[in-house]
Structure 1
Amino acid sequence: MKAILISSHYESRCSDGHNASSTTWNHKKVLLKDIRKGSYDKELRNLLRLTCSQHKDKEIEYFCDTCHTPICLACVFLEHREHICLTASEAVVAQKDRLVNYAAKVNEKLQHLENEKKVVCENFARVNKHQTEANANIEKQIEGIIAQIERHRQQALQLVEDRIEETLKQCNSQVEQAYLKITLAKGCLEFCETMIVHGKDEEVLYLEETITKRLQQLEELPNVDLKPIARDVFPDINEQTCGIQDLESLPSAQVDSVQTESNFILHSCLETSKISFKLLRIFDTGFDSDTQSPVIRSMAVGNNTIILSDSANGKIKCISTSGTLKECLTTGDDFSPFAVAVCKNVIGAVHANYLYMFDQIGKGTHKLMLSAKPPGGTIFTFALANYRNEGFIVGNLPDNYFRVYSTDGILQERFSLHLQKPLTNLSVDKSGHLVTCEWGDSCVRVRDLHGTKLTNCQVPPTWKPFAAHEDRNGFIYVVNNSQHAVSVFDPDGTDILHHATIPDGLQKPLNLAFDDEGLMYLVNIFGYINVYKVSVERLTVNAPRELGSTAWCQ
């Protein structure tokens, strides 16, 4: 085999010297830079032939698969004669196959690592984005709070100025009255003294009645109230501002609650709403066709019809808005409807772990299993509502999911929200947001479908919210069963009205609904319904309310 002579440059005398020698005349002469470029890699590999580790003068021709080592022909007949031996070319093919498999696995692992890197980078970017959004949101909230505090300051100063101006006017009036009374008293006294000293006998005799009347008038003059102005004439500004906290001492987790609380204090200083209930009619939903006294579990209103689930009589009652029974729906089975809703001309009802649908003529069209019965036979009390007049939404599923079904019985959407279980009632407002009654923390919340809390209506821990609906003005009406009342919250979640229902003849209200005209229907478990006309009047209030104050309407 020809050798390769490496040189960084050609020297003619060196080349001639190699050509003159019998041992090197046939050597190939190349430049070092060409070697570095890889131009002679194949020739170099051919020169570097491996030799046997046991027989240095023998080249590698075989591979012992048992010992996993390259050997020569002599080794095959000596140390490895009982081993599995392959020719070098066969061993190279097998080894290349294994290397291909290893390379594929390494490539797969590399791809997995690349994906992990991508996810980590995305998470990093997402965290940075969330941080930026959170910082911007906090700055925006703090700016809003500062603006609200400034408006509160101006309002409080104006309140003091108005009250002082009113009080000064009162003081000026009292001063004028005092001067007038003093003038009258002096005139009467001067007349009497003149008659006593200078009056003639006949004048005294004839003017006796006049003098007597003037003396009586003098005695009867009312005393001027000279008491100092009490401090309670002026507004207690300390009390008005006691709800504004030191923002620097607040932990970051309470920034959102500061916004809500400040809005409550300051919003009431600027504008409020007066809501009044007018009872229009009362009727009973127990009819002669009932075999038992009604037990109402749920109510919905649509198409000028009141839909009631009467679990005691095992049917759904369809009643006109004036209280006339139109028809009853049942399945023929052991039917005990719980939640009901109406969408277009389709009525939905939940019984046990099934969702039933009835068409406009009262025929059952679908029976959908919502979930398997849990161990022990316990049945979940599912929440049901009309979803944007497109179908029905079901909540309180065992897997914590919400599902949206079309009126054709097709599952349209499935999503999960973290609730303070149990969920006792569900409704959907005009924007498609969910209004949920959550007994876990006695709260009514408005959420979007991503779970973002838009409004929190915190009710007292002494009672549980049985049902909640939003009217067309954005106010939230919550049934207060234990206190026989309906509470009204504004769109910010502030409690602005508490209407007692016992004076209206309705005990323990259970559910409520609104019709297309805005009338409110309130039902109790025994099937008695009160119909109210609700009026909303926007008012501007000069004096701020104290934190926690509530308007009570009896």
Structure 2
Amino acid sequence: MAAAAASLAEDDDSLRAVITEHFVNCPICFKEYDEPTSLPCLHSYCKGCLKTHVGDLTPGRTFSCPVCQRETRVPTEGLEGFSHNFYIESLQDTLLQPPRKRTCGACALATGAVVDATSKCISCHEYLCEQCAPYHCRTKFTKDHKIFTLEQLRSKEYKAEIQELQIFLCPDHKDEAIKYFCEKCQRPICRDCKILLHDDHKCISLDAAAESVTQTLQTKLDHLEKKFKEEDELLLALEKNTIDVEANIKQRAVHLHSLVDQQEKVLMEKVHAQKKSLDISLEHRKTNKGTVDLVKGFLGHASPGELLMMQQQLCDQMDNLQSSSSSRKIPPLLSFQLQTRDGVEEDLFKGKWFGDIVEVQNLEFRTTEKKETDIWNWSMLSVLEPQNVVQDSQEMMQMLEKPSCGEEKEVRTQKMRPPARCVQEFNTNCKYPGAIVVTGDQKYAIADFNRESGQVCVYLQTGEFDEEIIEAANNNELDTVQGLCHLPSGRTVISDYENDKIFVMSKLWKPVTVKCIDGPCGVAVNSKNHIAVAQMHDQCITMFDIEPNGKMTEIYLIEPDDFPSPFCLAYTSEDFLVVGHVNDGRVDILSPSGDIICHYTGPSNDLKKPQSICVDRYDNIYIADRRRNCIHIISPEGQFIQYFETEMGGVSFRFPWGLAIDQDGDLVVGLYGGKVKVFSFLE
């Protein structure tokens, strides 16, 4: 029973998370729905927001849905002609914690007063306060109405009774309840509608119609899910194939580069050998030139007597130099030049020796229906390297006079073990475990991104709660912790976004230093003990040096031109800085000097919300995408490797918020709601 109750509670939490993500906020104002109103395309908005968006509510006028851009016509009744979304309203009353506050409609109508509602009439959907509720059913028109308190609406005990008694009023006949379903018109109707407009149509009960519609929708849903599964398999296969082809291209380029490099070495040695064969001695020529300079000196400065005394010796030396000079051995017009073959550059430009990309039809992933095959029959890419390309490579070797290409350099790779195995799982007090760091004593320090709590919780390796850090330096309570990083000295750096401060904490979580900085987010430390602090709203990263006493000194600013929303940070072993732009679906990799080397936006530009980043000891980079519920793995060069896959959940996670690598090289994942899981994944 306890296990069943726990499972139900977890299902409720999961459902609440999905509802919070997709059904709570209006897409226009981004606030909770106020009078949720649906368009024919099924997208819903606040009634007031929709009125503002449409502007001109003249019947027949068309406007675009803000979400899907579908053209929608204003009904004859204007804004009132659109359907009220009772489903969203019901979710607000039953599943959301805390529930949306409601006000009494009777008090508002009678006196204009704003009084909190405590009950709801499920017959007319009127919210009532504690005083008005007893009187609601005392009129001829409302005597059969059913009233439940807001607590009863949220209780599962009354769910079946509420669904059975709930009444929906006809939009055409305001006081009549919907009781029938017209099969011809495919719409729910009331008694008056049946008599006046649908008398000769076949009408059935709502329960019978709901059963039939449920079967129809379930059939369509099964069909779509099957189609999406096949599409996912195709896309994953294409993604894997693309990665393989990229690796083949790089290997091919390395191979051809090695041919050119080796031939460069051969030609260099050849020209040096030819030059040496001429037997030109620089030292000998330097001596001869000294003799020439001596004769010049005599001619310019010696007296006539001195010149005549030495004239015979000077003439003999000059004759000897003339007869024995090595210059006579050098051909008068000798020079070297590199002789190349015409058309080589053109052949290289056309990829003659490199290869080409060809489409090879992949029959393995054909979908079951012909129409779907026509749409989703992907062609797989491959590097063209058949016999003709091999012959071109041999021709290139012959052209370069290359006797041997030697052994290729071995490339070290770290293989992952798919799927990853969960080795630890525990619950925390952190609703949004967005920053996770493993301390020197092998504990998990977890920051809660929830602005209402502002805390750092510490847990033992076993998952047991150890302590809670609420207060930092000078009695400053933590407000919104956005980043954590552990220093080699054993200290921990905490960034507090709302307080505009960076705190350096001792091993015992006592404050050592506090540094004021505007809107700090993610933090990371490199091999030089320099701390990088992301400032999302200032669109920059500030670098600090930290001294042994904990004092932080600003050393420089990283502020590229295109740097929209730097939020989370991590360093590779080579001090390359990985930066996640949380609001722009992008990850940048920066050189140690701060220059952007590359951008990563996902395999198909589908990276949406990079919430957290970490790097393992092999420099694999892990990116938690909170919006798409997955974790990307990329190389230090920004190339997609794969999605992180687990034994139980595949590649899907429920809102991943925080990531870290622990002392065993395992991946620590913080999930929405406070659950933390540790995965073993490397071979």
Could you say which TM-score interval applies, normalised by the shorter chain? 0.3 to 0.5
Q: Quick check: which has more Rg, 1 or 2?
A: 1
Q: Return the TM-score normalized by structure 1.
A: 0.44
Give the TM-score of the pair, scaled to structure 2. 0.37
